[in-house]
Chain A
Amino acid sequence: MTERRRITGTPKLKIELPVPVGACQGCQHGSVGRIIWEVLEELELGENTIWIGGVTCGTMNAFLSDLDAVGPVPHGRAPDIGSAMKRLLGKETIIITYQGDGDAIAIGTESLIQAAARAERITVFMANNANYGTTGGQMAPTTLMEQRTTTTPQGRGMVEGFPINTAELVAQLRGTAYSARGAITSPANYQRTKKYVKKALQKQIDDIGFSFVEILSACPPNWGKKPVDCLKWIDDEMISQYPLGEFRDLESLN
């Protein structure tokens, strides 16, 4: 008699749709979503979580979540929206935002920085693919120096100024309880990022303060590289600008 046990696959909290929704070959918005869904399932948060989807290729993850969700929401404003929800619904409701780098640290800078400064008990996930994906690959605040995009055809230079290290920036704010950066360029990094996501959500569960995880993610069509080469580019180029790790991890804010 043979016994067939399921090991892993599509997370329970992801709605099964017959076709891949809005994903380019090798786009890792799916992987970032997967990690979050897996952790929400492990922490048994499916019943009381609200997923807020910013304006990003990954906004479809809000639609695909078997959770209460709203997405897209006004560009860059997910932390304001999440803060209000948390204040109104209280500790028992888990609020997460899923945003891109443009959404979170270009147009959304005010919203992100203010939420962290106020120690809003929400968790912000920022997928960093160093460009504006949805709109076809323009420069974002996270675009690397010399990186070509459709609005830096000669490569990012002095006229565009310098990339922003969001996780380190958020870590400076008094209200931040946790800030980390992960990547999904290997199974080891997958598990490491998953640990960061879990710790961030735990800070919210324990009502300590604001939590933030930045996840470097591949964007093959706009980087003009094959998917596997994108992961190498993240390891070789992105991580030197955006080191992985935890930049703030507090048990209490006072």
Chain B
Amino acid sequence: MNERIFVNGNEAVGWGALAADCRAFFGYPITPQNEVTEWFAREFPKRGRIFIQTSSETASINWLYGGACVGARVMTSTSSPGWALMQETISHMVNTEVPCVVVLVQRGGPGQGTTRHAQMDYASATWGGGHGGYKNIVLTPASAQEVHDLMQLAFYLADKYCNPVIVLSDGIIGTMMEPIALREINFNSLPEKDWALRGKGRRKDGQRRLLSSGQGLIPTSRNPNYLTLLHTLHNKFQQMAAHEIRYEASLLEDAELVLVAFGYAARASLQAMNWARAEGIKVGMIRPITVWPFPSQIVKEEAEKGVKFLVVEDNLGQMVMDVKMASEGKAAIYLVSALDRHEAMEGGAIYPEKVLEKIKELTAS
């Protein structure tokens, strides 16, 4: 039986990374993800693994770039303002085609915003926050257990596609204590990282390896020119979209109204759905586990059945755009947003009661 421990979502990041054999963590203090950094400071050195507190999030993501170039499983974690400082180098890692994992524990924005939960970096994470128009697989856990499991998936997918993967958490999922089962998830084996830098003498063929964040500008064997690089990246993003969509669907069979929510908002929506079902209201839910690639197909199918959608997200309306695109105008789409928070101070959140109120309003015949 797997060992069960009682931790918050932030600490679950560490246990998941350990299960994935992460070698190094580089991070910088920022609320509400500090328990992540502190976990690694406590747990990694004694296990012969590397923990470095850097001088900024810009430094963290560039340490990550170095670690990724030598083929080690490396990660960082941050919150929204720090996430903004990481965009340039995440874009560089996409060009260089090297893997890493970035955990983003979202807080309110813009600017200093708040030190508490929010979901306001959805678009920045799913639409490629930096320059150049690239994609990253973005995983969205809604519990400490799922944080633990998705961290392992994140490292696997990063290595599989040689592209950074984002684990998009939030201040509530991160600081809420829940029991988790420590379990190591096995994935298919992946090819050896022949491209990794280590000193040419350490390689069977004794030949040097060259990486560059300017592939295409600098001719590399894999991408001798820029157009080839664009095709390489395009194909990679197509493969991710074709094979890596994950979501949880509940009670869609007879649903007339479908909730769409991720992260902590999904917890509130699940509660509201159960209350509504108890009152005989036919409501179902789609919970994206990858918000990129977005589960467009299931949304499209539901739209064609004539359901209404109620998107529940703690921002001013971002995922609702993906739902609109996926439903191709065939469904009415409504929103419970950050404006529906239960109180005015920074601790305000989307409560199940508010979601239920909206459900009743939309299904009142």
Contact = CB atoms under 8 A, between A and B. Distances in A.
Q: Do chains A and B touch in the complex (CB under 8 A)?
A: yes
B97 to A, nearest CB: 12
22 contacts: A46-B201, A62-B212, A67-B200, A69-B211, A70-B213, A71-B212, A71-B218, A72-B214, A73-B65, A74-B65, A81-B62, A83-B52, A84-B67, A85-B197, A87-B24, A88-B66, A89-B198, A89-B199, A93-B198, A110-B56, A110-B59, A111-B62
A47 interface: yes
Nearest to B89: A74
Given A50-B197, A68-B200, A84-B63, A74 B213 contact: yes
Interface stretch (B69-77, B146-154, B290-298, B318-326): B69-77
A34 interface: no
Query: 7 tightest CB-CB pairs across the interface, nearest first?
Result: A47-B201, A84-B66, A81-B66, A48-B199, A80-B62, A77-B62, A84-B63
Given A74-B62, A84-B70, 10 more contacts: A50-B197, A67-B200, A70-B69, A74-B92, A77-B89, A80-B63, A84-B26, A84-B67, A89-B198, A93-B198
Contacts, number: 123
Contacts of A249: none
A92 B201 CA distance: 11
B62 A63 contact: no
Contacts of B232: none
The main secondary structure of chain B at its interface with chain A is mixed
B64 interface: yes
Interface in A198-224: none
A82 interface: yes
Contact of B208 (A67, A72, A84, A94): A67
Given A71-B212, A88-B24, A88-B70, A77 B198 contact: no
A89 B214 contact: no
B55 interface: yes
B54 interface: yes
Interface of B: 23-24, 26, 50, 52, 54-56, 58-59, 62-67, 69-70, 72, 74, 88-89, 92, 96, 197-202, 206, 208-214, 218
A70 B96 contact: yes
A93 B66 CA distance: 13
A49 B66 CA distance: 14
A114 interface: yes
A205 B245 CA distance: 48
Contact of B66 (A67, A71, A83): A83
A65 interface: yes
A52 B24 CA distance: 20
A235 interface: no
Contacts of A74: 62, 65, 88-89, 92, 213
B52 A87 contact: yes
Contacts of A89: 70, 198-199
B78 to A, nearest CB: 15
A158 to B, nearest CB: 30
A80 B62 CA distance: 6
A58 B58 CA distance: 23
Nearest to B209: A68
Given A72-B212, A74-B213, A77-B62, A87 B50 contact: yes
Contacts of B54: 80, 114
Contacts of B198: 50, 68, 89, 93
Contacts of B65: 73-74, 77, 80-81, 84
